[in-house]
Amino acid sequence: MNPADTQAAPERLSRQLGVVSLTLLLVGIVIGSGIFRVPSTVAAQVPSVGGAAIVWLAGAAITLAGGMPLVALTATLPRSGGAYVFLREGYGPIVAFLLGWVKLLVTGPTGLAALALIFAEYARVFVPLTDHQVQLVAGLLLVLLTAANVRSVAWSAALQNASTLAKLLALVALTLLIFGLGDPARGAFAHPIDWGGITARGFWPALIVVLWSYTGWFDFTYVAGEVRDPIRTFPRALAVGMGVIVLVYLGINAAYLYVLPIPDIAKSSLVASTAVQGLLGPRGASFVALLVMLSTLGSLNGSILTSPRVFFAMAEDGLFFRSVAAVHPRDRTPHVALGLYLLLGLAGVATRTFEQLAALFVLGAWPFYALAVGAVFTLPRRRPDLALHYRKPLYRALAAVFLLVSAAMLASATVARPVEMAISVGILASGVPAYHAWRAVARRRASAHDVAVETAEP
């Protein structure tokens, strides 16, 4: 299919999402389980209050540096698949195919399985569950959320809005609770704030996990074909959503530091539970468990709402099974793509072998983030006919900063984790022959169809 044709083709999914729903979708995807785990990693790598704050603020700044050009591209190409479309138009179909390939093999099953299993694990606080029952609960949750997404985008958005608002209220309550009942004499703020402790060896690993906790800014572009007035809606959603996220992240980190010293945070893999321990007793553990379940529920539903649109866009381009581009005749949702994503999640939950690849998520996905943002430089040459939303000097300057930081981060990760990087490169490389094989099969099918049509003509 010619890219120009795909640009001109009418959108087959209905535009139902407005500013509020898109903002809460972004917040719901981004704030998942990371805020309950990442602070300990940051404290271990950057052992100072000021240093930790710098890492979190740097993560927010880098996210905005990538998010703003990406939003400008979304205003130019508001099509289903979002970043997939930018990759296709900016570099060609093979790069876009590789994004779907990585999502199919790694990021889809690992992301869904991790979130669903975290939800089910914390359900053990309220109901005794065996390991097998945890898997069943996780799988049932995936089925129910997928069914809601198949039934209606409006249903899914309503669920996303409710879960995100509940999550935000619970996080604010947790923050105020710690500040109100905690003993500041025991925390990191009992001493003068130290702005040191930052080294290159510690900064980059800390930044990588912080960026992991911000990654939903890329995924929310996937629903660009279902957003009303995307030229105005996406910038507003990004600005408001990221503002809320940064305030929540800084607030909850400040609460942790208010009652815990840096060494205790660094040693705790469940820092929220550690922070409320002794404040509420068993009720504190139940409150944190409920908060984690709300948080992962919102992220999980947001992932199910957004990511299948990549497979849908691939199928529309003829780079995947045509049936995956089917739209439900009544509900106007990509029900086959949603079903495929459900199967990936169930496979991850059932086998757990995908959990071994979870560390590869950032290394496998981040090159596509950089390439998608870098499309602000390649699109003017490849598609001079497109509108000028992304050509402002500000967007190009931000994209350049994002690309430089991404290159430095990936170089650091290559040195620190050569095995994981080699596996990521291997998975990407395996997609190249898969792409050419798929195109060869598609060409043979098209030729056979043309012959059949000619034979049938009188």
Give pLDDT tens digits for 362-382: 667 788 999 999 999 998 888
CA gap 34, 211 in Å, rounded: 10
Q: What are the structure tokens assigned to 242, written together?
A: 């990221």
Q: Give the residues across from 17 on adjacent strands.
A: 227
**Confidence band (pLDDT; 50, 70, 90) for 6?**
very low
Q: What are the structure tokens assigned to 308, written together?
A: 């299948």
pLDDT at 27 over 70: yes
Q: Give the residues across from 227 on adjacent strands.
A: 17
Q: What is the pLDDT of residue 249?
A: 92
CA gap 167, 49 in Å, rounded: 26
Q: What is the pLDDT of residue 387?
A: 66
Question: Nearest-CA neighbor of 343 among 328, 332, 354, 357?
Answer: 354
CA gap 267, 261 in Å, rounded: 10
pLDDT at 414 over 50: yes
Each residue's pLDDT tens digit, 315-366: 888 888 888 889 888 888 889 999 999 988 888 777 654 334 445 566 677 8
pLDDT at 251 over 90: yes
Q: Of 33-37, 164-168, 216-220, give the lowest mean pLDDT range.
A: 33-37
User: Residue length, the chain?
Assistant: 458
Q: What are the structure tokens assigned to 296, written together?
A: 């992962």
Q: What is the pLDDT of residue 388?
A: 66
Instruction: Extract the runs of DSSP E, i.e. beta strands, from 174-299.
Output: none
Higher model confidence: residue 446 or residue 421?
A: 421
DSSP tag of 17: B
- In one-letter notation, the amino acid at residue 313 is A
Q: What are the structure tokens assigned to 135, written together?
A: 């898997």
Asked whether 179 and 255 are in contact (CB, 8 A), the reply is: yes
Domains of the chain with bracketed CATH: 16-447 (1.20.1740.10)
Q: What is the pLDDT of residue 137?
A: 93
Q: What is the pLDDT of residue 393?
A: 86
Question: Nearest-CA neighbor of 385 among 59, 89, 34?
Answer: 89
Each residue's pLDDT tens digit, 87-127: 999 999 999 999 988 888 777 777 788 788 888 888 888 88
Q: Of 114-123, 194-203, 262-271, give the lowest mean pLDDT range.
A: 194-203
Whole-prediction pTM value? 0.83
What's the chain's average pLDDT?
84
Mean pLDDT (whole number) for 379-405: 85
How open is the CA angle 225-343-354, to the nearest 5 degrees?
Answer: 105
**Confidence band (pLDDT; 50, 70, 90) for 1?**
very low
Residue with tokens 């000021």: 50
In this prediction, what percent of the chain has a pLDDT beyond 90?
27
CA gap 447, 12 in Å, rounded: 27
Asked whether 213 and 46 are in contact (CB, 8 A), the reply is: no
Q: What is the pLDDT of residue 111?
A: 75
Q: What is the pLDDT of residue 15?
A: 85
Question: What secondary structure does DSSP assign to 77-105, as a single string?
Answer: ---TTTHHHHHHHHH-HHHHHHHHHHIII
**Confidence band (pLDDT; 50, 70, 90) for 454?**
low
**Confidence band (pLDDT; 50, 70, 90) for 274?**
confident
Please count the other Cβ atoms lying within 10 Å of the Cβ belonging to residue 157: 23
| SS3 of residue 198 by DSSP | coil
